[in-house]
């Protein structure tokens, strides 16, 4: 019942309330982004939604307008050179993700679920197919995000996404949501210009 109806109702109501409450903050951030560097306030990018349909995810723009559009940050050469001053703050605090509230309102995303892959991240999409993780709405945060985030290898990220789908309950969503708050404040798992570093870091500690 929760998976097939209640979850969507909660997503809609909570994102509607968040839109109203956070509007002043989002307006202030929009002005800062516009004054900080030339280009649009929002960044749109094609992502993979439920059942591998495509949609345009919304974020506050954190990079210069000439940044390659459909390339994951970890695949850019010297990604820090593309990040704007306002963008560095937005990425550090995860405030760049706020516009995804509107993706949730539109039914393209959920508050909690597997993070939406880029349409050309074929390795991650294929790996998620093994676990049915492409058959739920992607989320603003998810189980993989509170267990390593950017530091996870593709296989481990997909496995955690599958674990989330298998155990999708209200309790699981609450656990992911509140753990996300801790991650954001501590800036855990964020790796600019790198991914899959958790296993590497663990090996370095052993060595």
Which token pair is 147?
């267990």
For residue 86, pLDDT beyond 70: yes
- CA–CA dist 187, 204 (Å, integer): 21
Which token pair is 35?
């004054």
For residues 147 and 197, which has the higher predicted lDDT (pLDDT)? 147
Mean pLDDT of 143-155: 86
* Residue 72 confidence (pLDDT): 67
Do the strands 42-48 and 54-60 form a parallel or antiparallel pair, or are they unpaired?
antiparallel
Kindly report, residue by residue over 156-185, the tens digit of the pLDDT: 999 999 999 999 999 999 999 999 988 777
Quick check: pTM over 0.95? no
3-state secondary structure of 83: strand
């Amino acid at each position: 019942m929760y998976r097939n109806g209640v979850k969507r109702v909660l997503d809609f109501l909570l994102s509607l309330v968040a839109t109203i409450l956070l509007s002043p903050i989002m307006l202030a951030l929009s002005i800062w982004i516009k004054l900080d560097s030339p280009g649009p306030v929002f960044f749109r990018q094609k992502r993979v939604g439920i059942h591998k349909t495509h949609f345009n995810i919304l974020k506050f723009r954190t990079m210069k307008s000439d940044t390659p559009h459909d390339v994951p940050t970890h695949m850019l050469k010297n990604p820090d050179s593309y990040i704007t001053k306002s963008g560095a703050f937005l990425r550090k605090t995860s405030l760049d993700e706020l516009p995804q509230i509107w993706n949730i309102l539109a039914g393209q995303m959920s508050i909690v679920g597997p993070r939406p892959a880029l349409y050309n991240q074929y390795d991650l999409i294929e790996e998620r197919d093994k676990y049915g993780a492409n058959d739920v709405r992607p989320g603003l945060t998810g189980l993989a995000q509170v267990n390593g985030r950017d530091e996870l290898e593709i296989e481990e990220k997909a496995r955690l996404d599958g674990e989330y789908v298998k155990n999708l309950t209200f309790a699981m969503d609450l656990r992911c949501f509140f753990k996300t708050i801790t991650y954001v404040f501590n800036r855990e798992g964020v790796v600019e210009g790198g991914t899959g570093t958790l296993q590497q870091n663990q090996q370095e500690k052993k060595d």
